[in-house]
Amino acid sequence: MTRSHPLDPTILREYDIRGVVDESFGEADVRALGRAFGSLVRRGGGRSLAVGYDGRESSVRLADALIEGLISTGITVKMIGLGPTPMMYYAVHELATDGGLMITGSHNPPEYNGLKMMLGTKPFYGAQIQNLGEMTAKGDFESGEGVIEPVDLFDRYIERLARDFDPLPEDAVPIDVGWDPGNGAAGDAVAALVKKLPGRHLVINETIDGRFPNHHPDPTVEKNLEQLKALVKAENLSLGLAFDGDGDRIGAVDRHGRVVWGDQLLLVLARHLLATQPGVPIIADVKASQMLFDGIRDAGGLPEMWKTGHSLIKARMSEVGAPLAGEMSGHIFYKDRFYGHDDGLYAAIRLLNAIAAQGGDLAALRDAMPQLVNTPELRFPCAEERKNPVIEGVRARLQEQGAKIIDVDGVRVITDDGWWLLRASNTQDVLVARVESHDEAGLLRLKGLLRDQLVLSGITPPEDL
């Protein structure tokens, strides 16, 4: 029987592995990936890996196949079981393993599943993931006799999250919070965490259910926050917090039920951090509002605009020593007092600290921010082989015109009216755009500039642009 196992190339994404279960991604694929990853770790001198899984209906059997592949290479598997992806990240640090793997489909629909990975304490992505595919195709595996060691880490993880909640001043009014894990893998963790916090906490959709019966578990899509908005208003709560399917991203609404987007949350967090650590670098992705970068600078920080992608942000944080970073998508990364990875529940703890330290009202903090007008993230189809040539063509034309551009990730074009962005997605066959201005008239002008560039590149602009 051959050891070679070619994978469907579409499952090998930039930051993780993901596909439709039993179509592009099944048990044989995961078993082969376990052999490849275990072999990499063994060849680097490693011996143990943490493994967890989310609440999807396929996750237990896929985890079993993954572990079978890993132990066939001589790896000791520290099995942490069901929970959010950040619990796996925590396990790597807490258990001092040589890396970790998580069976999760993140916020994708129920029929999807996948793998997120760490090698040592660093993200595993890009060319490293492509290399795994090459190893499985060649059957390039080590052999050995590993073992499985179940580890009950859940209580330690919850204690670690709660440890960084700052005690409220005696005269402070506790913040009342609604929580919505969206039936995702963070459900049990949220229910346990709120018992350790002061104030009133109401949790909905906490039952882990991989069918996601109440709404899709993506807090960056406003329609998925309708239940949370209703809860906050009906119960007169201070704010509401939501999480994605595997718990590494956070979303929020204020007491009026208004969405507080990822860049707005990051500004609240940054101001709080900079009050005690002035002059430190804080990173945000290229899709974030200009008010965030200006706000970090005004608060005494060093803002840095960086490429979109949680693995890319984590790597950059390590390079420049940033204690805090974030993305529009709701990934928030803390190196300050934490480990430098994205954890939606930990971000929630630090957000509650930041709100309490800045007056206790998220709505007031949101209202005090510059009131700009912008589009949501616009995504439209573009064939994989055309994505980068389109971006390069737009960049070349703009440079020829003398336009002011930031090209750290695609092209972000700065004008007197504001800015517009066009970049290639790292995970899908789409182009991504965003536009922001000081007023509606400026927004229309900037949209027109973006549409013109798309037409010149032979791309039909989306209807919502």
Name the residues annotated as catalytic: 106
Beta-sheet pairing, 378-381 with 404-406: unpaired
Q: What is the DSSP letter of 400?
A: H
- Asked whether 254 and 364 are in contact (CB, 8 A), the reply is no
State the first-to-last Cα distance of the chain, in angstroms, to the nearest integer: 54
Where are the alpha helices (H) located in 321-439, listed in sequence order? 344-357, 362-367, 384-401
Residue 13 token pair: 């994404």
The residue among 387, 402, 399, 389 whose CA lies nearest residue 433 is 387
**Residue 238, CA atoms < 13 Å, CB-side half-sphere:** 18
For 356-367, b where at least 16 C-beta lie within 10 A, e where not — what string? bbbebbbbebbe
CA dist 12 and 313 (Å) reads 19
Angle subtended by helix axes 27-43 and 127-138, to nearest 10: 110
CA dist 458 and 35 (Å) reads 44
> How many residues comprise the chain?
465
Q: How is the beta sheet containing 332-334 ordered, strand by strand?
A: 302-306, 281-285, 324-326, 332-334
Amino acid at 252: A
Residues in CB range of 133: below 8 A, 6 or more apart? 7, 9, 12
- Asked whether 464 and 435 are in contact (CB, 8 A), the reply is no
Q: How far is CA 337 from the centre of its chain?
A: 19
- Asked whether 222 and 229 are in contact (CB, 8 A), the reply is no
CA dist 241 and 181 (Å) reads 8
CA dist 159 and 71 (Å) reads 30
Q: What is the DSSP letter of 381?
A: E
Residues in CB range of 291: below 8 A, 6 or more apart? 263, 267, 369, 370, 372
Residues in CB range of 387: below 8 A, 6 or more apart? 424, 425, 429, 430, 431
